[in-house]
A and B are shown apart, each in its own frame.
Chain A
Amino acid sequence: MTPQELVANVIAQKPAAIAKAISLIERGEHTAERSDTYDALFNLLFEAPFCSQVIGITGPPGAGKSTLVDRIIEHARADNKKVAVLAVDPSSPLTGGSILGDRVRMQRHALDSGVFIRSLANRGHLGGLSETTYQCIRVLEAAQFDFILVESIGIGQNEIEITRMVDTTVLVTIPGMGDYVQAMKAGVMEFGDILAINKCDLPGVGQVEKLLNEIAHDRAGPDDWLPPVVKITANNGEGIEGLMKNIHAHARFAPEHQTRRSYERHLLDAMLQRAILKRFYQPLVATNAYQQLAAAIVERKRPLQDLWSLLLQ
């Protein structure tokens, strides 16, 4: 299959092609050189239009994110909308392996042709999620899913990253997580467009609700989006309707895909930096001329000025 064919099949919404495309992107970091196919895919990222609503579902382990995602899929499908899911889990820093156990809670949708579920390990990217995840999102967008749900464990750096590459971030907590919320205050302040409290059959809902509302009000200025606190019980589907309404409201509020466009600007900058590094820095640093000059400078045999002269050549 040629790169063009693969891309064409992704756009034609063929699941096998989507799966292969995502694998290629995942593997992209592992191959020494980029291949033609990878490049073709990569270009697609900046060609396919913005047409999906990308929703990040993040929160600590045990908050019930996967169950929530399962319910959102159910809801969207009832509306005949197509849904894709990227479920991201951490890789073991020791062994590099991981157990990706989110899919199992959504498997009732496995045979629905309007649903595509993919589990991803974050493969040791220190930031947690990474460009790879964004590229996978774009592949799914090229396949024109109405909703793309990105589920991840929200711990530290991860939340920050995910919020930059999605349109709406839903932060999921459960009663009894007051300490977590406090600790996350900074993060919640910065992002969290929708603050969901799951497992509302547990005691302590009121406390968490109060806390979240306080933080939300602190954060939001008069013209800003005020993050609503939404109560749900994903286990039985209570509150999902309300959650979806809030998600749609946020989509209407925020300028169209502005967050993601900003992320892409950042991505372009990063790509430019890398390209410059590759094109100019690395070749130069490898030359004898530079190596010898640098050694001489630290030996005080040549002045620093000579380095700038070298550069200008």
Chain B
Amino acid sequence: MNAEHRLDSHFEAKLFSASLEDWQRNVWQPAIARTPERKDEFLTQSMRWQIKPLYTPEDLDAIGFDYRADLGYPGEYPYTRESRPTGYRSNLWAMTQVTGFGTAEDSAKRWEYMLNQGLDALIIEYDLPTTNGYDSDHPLARGEVSRAGMALDSLRDMEDALNFPLDKLNNIMSVCNAPQPVNLAFLIAALEKKGKPLDSIRMMMPNAILIEYTCVGRYIFPPKHGLRIATDVIEYVIRNHPTWAPLSVVGAQLYAARANPVQEIAFSFAIAKTYIDALLERGFTIDEVAPYVRHITGIDTDFFEAIAKLRAYRKVWARLMKEHYGTQKESSLRLQLMSSPGTMDMTLQQPLNNIARLGIQMLACAAAGGAYTMNTPLHDEAHALPSEEAIAIGAAIHNIVAHESGVADTIDPLAGSYYVEYMTKRMADEVWEEIEKIDAMGGGLKAIEDGYFQRKLAEQQCMRNRAIESGERKLIGVNYLVKPQEKREIEIFKIDDATEQRQLERLRTIKAERNNDAVKAHLEKIRAACRDGSNLVPPILDAVKEYATLGEICGVMREEFGEHDPNALTPDM
């Protein structure tokens, strides 16, 4: 007699809901009545999508989810689960950090130190006069020299910055934007002078000028000329230094300008297509070009949104390459992604909290996979001089996630989660729609010229600000669980006047000692290239070797191409 082991059918009906509706009606509603939900609305942080209490197989059915079509296997189209077959089980991601500011000598010291500490790559940033195409003696450069990065006026600056043993140097990332061809020339010429073989080094240049027109604004020339210049750089590198990386579409900048994930991916891809199309026009095939297009994404603290975003990034890129460009080659279909856990939610208040945020963001990156490099911002914010402690903690987070959490020990561990798959597919679908919308407008360049991206970002910025100020979006320490009167002194990196004076002196000396006739002749050759459309890099390289300055070269380009007025692109407020 096993009556007590056989569940009474009536009891069984009470124990298990036959369907979701039953559960909602019989179990959930009554429970909600007793203990109401803590918010009226649950929304994802960026997309502001409604989050349901529960996700089930029915949600996947409703959106037509199919394992083969939507996920596939790692290293196979559409690459949603992972770009490579082995994920992080063979190699973990590369860990990088942004390096500092200051004069060429300061940079040299710091870079040597970091290489000795075993860091994989140097990321060089330049000061505002440089990225705006001005020499340190330009009136607008007053007070800005060497502040946001290294001052780069002439080849001498680059030679002095590389004044340390270069044998350990394998990777350089140089972020220069508008004057990229000049920057490239300086690097090539300086390395040659130092006797470092160019094929022993991997140079990475974001060269992401088109994004600059939509946010941040470090451009000089009108968009179509900016595109031409960037394409010249890419073409030159593909033909002469094929192991280098001449293009990274920095979606992370769009993210920093408050683009939501769908916008970040769609705008980035629209811009990537613009570069690709420009290169195809120069006679390259898609398979020659696509492997050179890399992306950099920003990651937020909303864990599941981040995971869905990374998976959607891979999935849509593969689809784009396949359906739009008709390629079948794996090296073209596979997205190359660097992830930059976000600076957006880093708070000034209670900065140690940012360590927790970073942990969550990097955990999301590791769980979603696909990023080959991860850049850690430092918890005490970009405005402060990175403290050694912050550097150490950043590295530790990488390692804790990699070795203690287990998240990198299997490929795409969250696949199959109803919530994650729902989010991923929805995100990918909306990205595709947005890309088609931008195509209908005439493509990425047109959207920039019309101010479409700028308008969308301005909307997002106001929405986010309102959400935070109203408290609807909680930022711990800022508008929720605020500690009273925390006086935080930001250590702003101080550059004294002496630094600027030294730079000016160096510039004066260069101009006096060089062959000014040769410089003039080379500048005219650059002017000719501006006009006849030939690649700008060779004549710039020649000019740079004669110690023509960045300001002089950009000056010629300004005369030929005109300047793009930032006030013309003021978002319609």
Contact surface of A with B, Cβ cutoff 8 Å = 61, 67, 99, 101, 104-105, 107
Query: Closest chain B residue to A235 by CB distance?
Result: B568
Residues of chain A lying within 8 A (CB to CB) of residue B568: 67, 105
Bound: A105/B568 CA distance, A: 6
Residues of chain B lying within 8 A (CB to CB) of residue A104: 567, 570
Q: Is B492 an interface residue (CB 8 A)?
A: no
Q: Is B3 an interface residue (CB 8 A)?
A: no
Bound: A12/B568 CA distance, A: 34
Residues of chain B lying within 8 A (CB to CB) of residue A101: 570, 572-573
Tell me which residues from 196 to 240 in chain B have a Cβ below 8 Å from any Cβ of chain A: none
B contact residues, range: under 10
Query: Closest chain A residue to B562 by CB distance?
Result: A236
The 8 closest A-B pairs by CB, nearest first: A99-B573, A104-B567, A101-B573, A104-B570, A105-B567, A107-B567, A101-B570, A105-B568
Contact surface of B with A, Cβ cutoff 8 Å = 567-568, 570, 572-573
Bound: A61/B567 CA distance, A: 17
5 cross-chain CB contacts under 8 A: A101-B572, A101-B573, A105-B567, A105-B568, A105-B570
Bound: A61/B572 CA distance, A: 10
With both chains docked as a complex, state the minimum distance between the C-beta of A168 and any C-beta of chain B, in angstroms. 27
With both chains docked as a complex, state the minimum distance between the C-beta of A124 and any C-beta of chain B, in angstroms. 19
Query: Closest chain B residue to A67 by CB distance?
Result: B568
Query: Closest chain B residue to A103 by CB distance?
Result: B567
Query: Closest chain A residue to B573 by CB distance?
Result: A99
Residues of chain B lying within 8 A (CB to CB) of residue A67: 568
Residues of chain A lying within 8 A (CB to CB) of residue B570: 101, 104-105
Query: Closest chain A residue to B571 by CB distance?
Result: A101
Query: Closest chain B residue to A105 by CB distance?
Result: B567
Bound: A309/B570 CA distance, A: 65
Bound: A105/B451 CA distance, A: 15
Given A61-B572, A101-B573, A105-B570: 9 more A-B contacts, CB < 8 Å = A67-B568, A99-B573, A101-B570, A101-B572, A104-B567, A104-B570, A105-B567, A105-B568, A107-B567
Residues of chain B lying within 8 A (CB to CB) of residue A105: 567-568, 570
With both chains docked as a complex, state the minimum distance between the C-beta of B538 and any C-beta of chain A, in angstroms. 30
Bound: A67/B567 CA distance, A: 11
Residues of chain B lying within 8 A (CB to CB) of residue A61: 572
Bound: A185/B41 CA distance, A: 47
Bound: A99/B570 CA distance, A: 12
Residues of chain A lying within 8 A (CB to CB) of residue B573: 99, 101
Bound: A101/B572 CA distance, A: 8
Residues of chain B lying within 8 A (CB to CB) of residue A107: 567
With both chains docked as a complex, state the minimum distance between the C-beta of B5 and any C-beta of chain A, in angstroms. 69
Bound: A150/B570 CA distance, A: 21
With both chains docked as a complex, state the minimum distance between the C-beta of B276 and any C-beta of chain A, in angstroms. 25
Query: Closest chain B residue to A98 by CB distance?
Result: B573
With both chains docked as a complex, state the minimum distance between the C-beta of B78 and any C-beta of chain A, in angstroms. 36
Residues of chain A lying within 8 A (CB to CB) of residue B572: 61, 101
Bound: A104/B569 CA distance, A: 10
Bound: A67/B569 CA distance, A: 12
Residues of chain B lying within 8 A (CB to CB) of residue A99: 573
With both chains docked as a complex, state the minimum distance between the C-beta of A53 and any C-beta of chain B, in angstroms. 27
